[in-house]
A = this chain, B = another copy of it.
Amino acid sequence: MNLTIRQLQAFREVMRTGSVSEAAKILGRTQPAVSSMIAGLENELGVEMFKRQRGRLVKKPEAEYFLTEVDAILNHLSTTVRTMKEIGKLKKGRLRIACMPAASQFMIPRLIAKFLEDKPNINVSLMMRTSAVIEEWLTSQQFDVGLAETPPLNHALHTKIFNLKCLCALRSDDPLSSKKVITAKDLSNLPLATLNEGHPNKLATEDAFRKEKSILNQRFEVRNFQPALKLVEEKLCYCICDPMSASGYLDNQGGFTKLLFKPFEPYVGLSVSILQPAHRPPSLLAEMFVDKLTEELNKLIEQYG
């Protein structure tokens, strides 16, 4: 097949205007250029589209039929091109994000909101799941981007690791609030809210207390830090929480806040990762979002050390 899109466009314009000269003007070419495009078209298809009578072109039935097809084809092409250009400018697209609970409360929604500010036609789906499920979903390429606790090495996943330092949450009127840094010793035997048994954060906290030979008095066991912080607000306990939850809490309280977050020692870490399917390059959209997310996490690390 040896047709060109320009020939089809020229044909359509000639059909519309009924004249080679007129079509040429509209297409921004000279009349002979259009004339020869039409001739080439007729030649290629082996069909005479116009009768040349009295110096004019008169459409033949064959041309009418061809026009309907050409018109559909050109329209389809041009909407496709438009869509692609919008994708290129991040104006259109789809982004599937899977996210661990700690970040899904405030951080990710806020980030998405900001990311979508100038992108009204992007379709985003956000799912909150445990890190293990997120890992699985990313591996099977059902999602574009995941944020989860760093999973064991998995060659089907591209992981970008961030080591976050957990903080101690306490009321601003707490006696300890004057200290710059809270230590395990400070909290020895004081009531604590922790995550469930076996969670990396819980384990790391236990380690920290053991290292300092302090007593971990676990008063509450919670699934994520959202409710834990409420308990701290009520003066019922302390908690060693990750900085994403902390920053989410602070942002959400809008300046007026009952809680303080202080550095905690010894180090209680939380290793989270941005996950992407390996062996499948990300869409431009995913790439941009990952950039934003990376930026955000680095800001968090910088801020809380």
A78 CB → nearest B CB, Å = 6
Query: Nearest CB to that of A89 among chain B residues?
Result: B46
Contact with B along A38-73 (1 / 0, CB 8 A): 000000011110110100001111100110011011
In the complex, A153 has a CB within 8 A of chain B: no
Identical copies of this chain, number = 2
Query: Nearest CB to that of A144 among chain B residues?
Result: B61
Contact with B along A182-210 (1 / 0, CB 8 A): 00000000000000000000000000000
B62:A69 contact, CB within 8 angstroms: no
In the complex, A17 has a CB within 8 A of chain B: no
Which chain A residues in 256-305 approach chain B with CB under 8 Å? 279-284, 286
Bound complex: CA A279 to CA B54 (Å): 11
In the complex, A252 has a CB within 8 A of chain B: no
Bound complex: CA A57 to CA B105 (Å): 38
Bound complex: CA A280 to CA B60 (Å): 7
A295 CB → nearest B CB, Å = 21
**A29 proximity list for chain B (CB < 8 A):** none
A291 CB → nearest B CB, Å = 15
A29 CB → nearest B CB, Å = 14
B45:A77 contact, CB within 8 angstroms: no
Bound complex: CA A3 to CA B84 (Å): 13
In the complex, A76 has a CB within 8 A of chain B: yes
A3:B81 contact, CB within 8 angstroms: yes
Residue from the list B53, B72, B84, B281 in contact with A281, Cβ < 8 A = B53
In the complex, A87 has a CB within 8 A of chain B: yes
In the complex, A114 has a CB within 8 A of chain B: no
Bound complex: CA A51 to CA B144 (Å): 16
Residue from the list B66, B87, B281 in contact with A47, Cβ < 8 A = B87
**A280 proximity list for chain B (CB < 8 A):** 58, 61
**A46 proximity list for chain B (CB < 8 A):** 84-85, 88-89
A69 CB → nearest B CB, Å = 4
Query: Contacts A5-B5, A62-B284: A76 and B78 contacting too (C-beta < 8 A)?
Result: no
Given A65-B87, A69-B76: 15 more A-B contacts, CB < 8 Å:
A3-B77, A4-B4, A45-B81, A48-B284, A51-B281, A53-B281, A58-B279, A61-B144, A62-B84, A62-B284, A69-B80, A70-B80, A73-B73, A73-B77, A76-B76
| Residue contacts A-B, CB under 8 angstroms, 6 given | A3-B77, A5-B5, A45-B88, A69-B76, A72-B76, A76-B76
Pairs A-B, 3 closest by C-beta atoms: A46-B88, A51-B281, A47-B88
